[in-house]
Amino acid sequence: MASVEFRNVVKRYSDHTVISKLNLFIPDGKFVVLVGPSGCGKSTTLRMIAGLEDITEGDLFIGERRVNDVLPRDRDIAMVFQNYALYPHMTVRDNLSFGLRLRRIPPSEIEKRVADAAEMLGLQEYLDRRPSQLSGGQRQRVAMGRALVRRPQVFLFDEPLSNLDAKLRGEMRREIARLHHRLQTTMVYVTHDQVEAMTLADIMVVMEKGRIRQVGNPMDVYSQPADAFTAAFIGSPTINLLPVEVRTGEVERITTIEGQGFSLQVTARFMHYQGDGLMGIRPGDVRLSSDTGNLQGRIDVMEPLGHRVLYTVDTPAGSVLCELDASEARWKPGDAVHVVFPMELVHLFEADGDQKSLLLEGGTI
């Protein structure tokens, strides 16, 4: 088991910078999820840990060891690829044992480890089959088993579940969680699925365009996003972001948020800031009312999701998404409603640049 640390790591392809100044410490034994939109550099980051990509600048440590110039096979890591990358010409058993045989582990030990992994992943019946004779989910398990038998210091996963259907994805997700709980080995997991990110991560790393936007416990990232990008990326349905003007009184420590057709006054849980901003509020935090509220609107679309109902409300400030319990959902498309923004659940971001959060560190109302 080992920690992983990036110190000022830069990755460039000729003159095209893919990762700029990455600093990240992954403590020993943690489950870290790198999450971000397509092309943001998640795979590149993971492949640098694996040693499959050179590091242009900076230092990468696994444990105490600087590994910039260490070959993948000497890094004591194992990786599960998105497309499984099984050895097609070998049986499942040989796929699992290939790495061990290369490392000259004694046959009895190999047999034991393969049997353990096969049992853990329910692969016993398939040991003599070729990958082409397995379903997607089974191949996925073989890929995990191949990593497992190695007993590496660090496990790397690159979107391992993205080729599975929704039901299987859920099952495998829980299996991976169980695996980590059992092994307590450092795992770095790449995904663009925020459900996987939220549910699996001890530490979630939100990336965008080769930069880290936020690092933290998933619930903290969800409830206190550091910027508008993270707020919009994490959470489903997507957070409402409305353009507003922000004014903070010097004396009263009251912040006024002025949007199209509404105005909120909140006490100073926000930085002193004057100017354009973005107000964020999660659909699940928005309330509707027939008589009073912050903003008047009209129901545009109603989407029943079972025990929840998703409303799209047309307002002067733009479309506002609102997710209600089915029992509270008494409006129909076309109905006039008042939208309520509970003050304590409102996020506020700068309108320009990195759209940083204006929330004070640890601030509440």
CB 194 within 8 A of CB 231: no
Q: Taking CB within 5 to 8 Å according to partner kind, which of ligand ATP, Mg ion, another protein, none is near residue 41?
A: ligand ATP
C-alpha pair distances (Å), 147 with each of 87, 136, 141: 13, 17, 10
Residue from 4, 18, 156, 359 touching ligand ATP (CB under 6 A): that is 18
Shortest approach of another protein to residue 266 CB, angstroms?
49
Angstrom distance (rounded) from CA 216 to CA 219: 8
For another protein, which is the closer residue by CB, 89 or 174? Answer: 89
Q: Scanning the structure block, which residue is given the tokens 């420590």? A: 253
> Interface with ligand ATP includes 214 (CB under 6 A)?
no
- Give the interface with another protein as residue ranges (CB under 8 A): 50-52, 71-73, 75, 77-79, 81-89, 98-99, 102-103, 130-134, 136, 139, 146, 150, 163
Residue 238 DSSP symbol: P
Say if residues 358 and 273 touch (Cβ distance below 8 Å): yes
| SS3 call for 274 | coil
Using the rule CB under 5 A, is 294 a contact of Mg ion? no
User: Could you give the 3-state DSSP secondary structure of residue 244?
Assistant: strand
d(CA 296, CA 146): 58
Interacting partner of 85 out of Mg ion, another protein, ligand ATP, none (Cβ under 5 to 8 A depending on kind): another protein
- Cα–Cα distance for residue pair 160/147, rounded to 1 Å: 12
342 upstream amide cis, omega within 30 of 0: no
Contact between 160 and ligand ATP (CB under 6 A)? Answer: no
- Is 43 among the residues that bind Mg ion (CB under 5 A)? yes
Contact with ligand ATP (CB under 6 A): which of 1, 8, 23, 39? 39
Residue 18 binding: pick among Mg ion, ligand ATP, another protein, none (C-beta 5-8 Å cut-off by kind): ligand ATP
The window from 34-42, 254-262, 343-351, 354-362 that contacts ligand ATP (CB under 6 A) reads: 34-42
Q: Is 212 in the site for ligand ATP (CB under 6 A)?
A: no
Nearest by Cα to 145 from 119, 167, 171: 119
In the bound complex, what is the minimum distance in angstroms from residue 46's beta carbon to ligand ATP?
Answer: 8
- The item of another protein, Mg ion, ligand ATP, none sharing an interface with residue 181, based on CB under 5 to 8 Å by kind, is none
CB 122 within 8 A of CB 131: no
Where do contacts with ligand ATP occur on this chain (CB under 6 A)?
A: 13, 16, 18, 36, 38-44, 192
